[in-house]
Amino acid sequence: MNQFKCTRALKLIIAILFFMAVITTNLVLAPLAEATSYPITNSNIAPNGFLTIATITMFAGDTVTFNMTYSPNNNRQVDYGFIEPSGSFVSRSSTNGTMNMTITVQETGQHIIRIYNRSSVIITVNGRATHNNRVVTHNARVRYDVSYGPNNSTVISGLSNQYGNATSSIRNTFGINFVLSGDVEQSNILNGSNCGLLNIDPCIASCLPAPNNTLSRCNGNHHKSDARLNSLLQSTSRHTLRVVGHILCYWSGSHEVSVGSADIKGRNSIVSSYSPNLTATIQHELTHNLGVNNHCTNTQQCIMKPIGHSLRVMNRWCTSCSVIIWNNKH
């Protein structure tokens, strides 16, 4: 599984820990409505004309339900449906005066919900079209180590709240719901192999596994290795977030440190309490889980910018990252 790591140089880490905080926003996003109706009352459609009901953004897998009548209805053909971003008209036909059908959206993007009158007389339409958002649910859990905090209700409640704050905007914006259901626990499996140097920053030779006490061991063997920790406690049915109280590290031709890592389009992620804003880092790593591979390089505000970037804003996703999330929504 591909991983993406939130890294930075040691000097920058120390500076950020003392002087910087991740930019956040007080923007309150309106909840993603699970169903939005568009009523039509006595709307006339000219012969061989059309009626546009709404122009809205829909995601692949959403549906549109038509509950409408039209008159006169004696063998007057009406086509109803929506125009997808590619320009194709996904539709159903009626000749009996009723339009009662649910149609599934095939593409993500802007859609035009429309009715075409194929007859040579004026018809009058009543009823409604309803856009049904497809909400995807992911079961989730959080595990933390002893270096993050003790096994008590205060720590568990704090992590539950931070996870909820990180995921609520994902739910509101994309219809992807991470359900934690109180599954937050301390796990000894994440502890640092009885190493007394957990908070050494950066790693030193004496805190690395013998007999080859080299920094390259951070590639997977070292207790602070993000790859090693992310390989623990994996689940085939739950998204697992690991939280540790020390810097994460890895080897990539040189010794690197990070405050977070995640599988791309996977279920595994890990964050460090050394992050200046743990909630924002959780949201960032979960977005990697949802398919966003690289950090943003465009000029829009987005949580996927690197730590310290002026456009890194919590609860915001740029257009390109949003499209990736929508396309990987499953």
What topology is assigned to 35-132 in CATH? Jelly Rolls (2.60.120)
Instruction: Note the pLDDT tens digit of each residue in 222-276.
Output: 788 898 899 999 999 999 999 999 889 888 888 888 999 999 999 999 999 999 9
CA distance linking residue 303 with residue 308, whole number of Å? 11
Any bridge partners for residue 35, and if so which?
A: 132
Instruction: Note the pLDDT tens digit of each residue in 118-173.
Output: 999 999 999 999 999 888 899 999 999 998 999 999 999 999 999 999 999 999 88
> Tell me, what's the pLDDT at 208?
66
CA distances from 19 to 10, 15, 259, 307, 309 (A): 14, 6, 16, 13, 14
For CATH 2.60.120.260, the residue range(s) in the chain are 35-132
Instruction: Note the pLDDT tens digit of each residue in 162-189.
Output: 999 999 999 988 889 999 988 999 999 9
Q: How much is the pTM?
A: 0.72
The DSSP H or E segment spanning 100 is strand 98-104
| Range in 31-40, 43-52, 65-74, 300-309 the model is least confident about | 31-40
For CATH 3.40.390.10, the residue range(s) in the chain are 3-30+135-327
Instruction: Note the pLDDT tens digit of each residue in 59-102.
Output: 888 999 999 999 998 889 999 999 999 999 999 999 999 999 99
Query: Which residue is associated with the tokens 């697992």?
Result: 240
| Residue 41 neighbours by CB under 8 Å, 6+ apart | 126
pLDDT at 321 over 80: yes
> Tell me, what's the pLDDT at 31?
44
Q: Give the right CATH number for 3-30+135-327 from 3.40.50.1370, 3.40.390.10, 3.90.550.10, 3.40.630.40.
A: 3.40.390.10
CA distance linking residue 277 with residue 270, whole number of Å? 14
- Among 270, 271, 267, 269, which residue's Cα sits nearest to residue 238? 267
Cα dihedral 42, 46, 50, 52 in deg (nearest 10): -40
